């Protein structure tokens, strides 16, 4: 009986360890920034070397994964809603914005911070259909931004704004200021 009890105890410990490992593995899988994101196309050729609220006097470089280039456009009149064009990025779109220290960080300088948009409409922490993520680097810990700070500014992308073409028609651009150019 004692021997049997020992085996049962070991089985319970093993099950607990497996569950723990599965739980840890599940956490580490939340990794949206690949190391090779710089191989992705940039959303704009414009050198983002001017001050903006949120990132202020720091250089930005923005990359989008190939999947994001497949964004859909609904032309005015195509929908029952009268109005302007509407743009929708597909689920799985990842947009990585590098934030450098100052406007002239030097050719070999690494970004001070990455801010990332990941299209995940079903995610419980998604805001406007996007997960808003902050990370120190591609290898660093990714943290989902839970407040609405990012969303508040990026909501302006769907209205007239001072960047790119300024969105004069107030098109819905899915919270992205610089729509990537497609062929």
Pick the closer one to other proteins by CB: 35 or 152: 152
Across the strands, what pairs with 48? 60
- Between CA 154 and CA 37 the distance in angstroms is 22
Residues 148-167 binding other proteins (CB under 8 A) are 149-150, 152-153, 155-156, 159-163
136 forms part of the interface with other proteins (CB under 8 A): no
Q: In what order do the strands lie in the sheet with 113-119?
A: 60-64, 94-99, 113-119, 130-135, 143-144
Our CA angle for 31, 38, 154, nearest 5°, is 70
CB 176 within 8 A of CB 157: yes
172 forms part of the interface with other proteins (CB under 8 A): no
Pick the closer one to other proteins by CB: 86 or 154: 154
Strands 94-99, 86-88: pairing kind: unpaired
Pick the closer one to other proteins by CB: 86 or 161: 161
Virtual torsion, Cα 169, 174, 175, 178, nearest 10 deg: -70
- Between CA 37 and CA 115 the distance in angstroms is 13
Of 101, 126, 145, 172, the one binding other proteins by CB under 8 A: 145
Contact region with other proteins (CB under 8 A), list: 7-15, 49-57, 70-78, 79-87:
49-57
Contact region with other proteins (CB under 8 A), list: 3-11, 30-38, 80-88, 142-150:
142-150
Total binding residues for other proteins by CB under 8 A?
21
Pick the closer one to other proteins by CB: 28 or 147: 147
Of 8, 57, 70, 181, the one binding other proteins by CB under 8 A: 57
Map residue 153 onto helix, strand or coil.
Answer: helix
Site of interaction with other proteins (CB under 8 A): 50-54, 56-57, 145, 147, 149-150, 152-153, 155-156, 159-163, 177
């Amino acid at each position: 009986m004692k021997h049997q009890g020992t085996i049962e105890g070991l089985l319970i410990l093993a099950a607990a360890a497996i569950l723990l490992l599965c739980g840890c593995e599940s956490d580490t899988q939340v990794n949206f920034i690949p190391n090779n994101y710089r191989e992705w196309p940039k959303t704009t050729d414009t050198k983002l070397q001017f001050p903006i609220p949120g990132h202020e006097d720091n250089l930005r470089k923005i990359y989008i994964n190939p999947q994001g280039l497949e964004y859909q456009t609904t032309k005015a009149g195509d929908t029952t809603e009268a109005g302007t064009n509407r743009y929708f990025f597909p689920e799985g779109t990842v947009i990585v914005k590098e934030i450098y220290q100052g406007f002239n960080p030097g050719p070999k300088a690494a970004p001070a911070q990455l801010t990332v948009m990941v299209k995940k409409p079903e995610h419980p922490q998604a805001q406007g259909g996007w997960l808003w993520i902050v990370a120190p680097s591609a290898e660093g810990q990714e943290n989902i931004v839970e407040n609405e700070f990012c969303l508040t500014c990026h909501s302006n992308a769907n209205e007239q704004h001072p960047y790119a073409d300024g969105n004069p028609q107030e098109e819905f651009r899915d919270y992205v200021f610089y729509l990537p150019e497609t062929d």
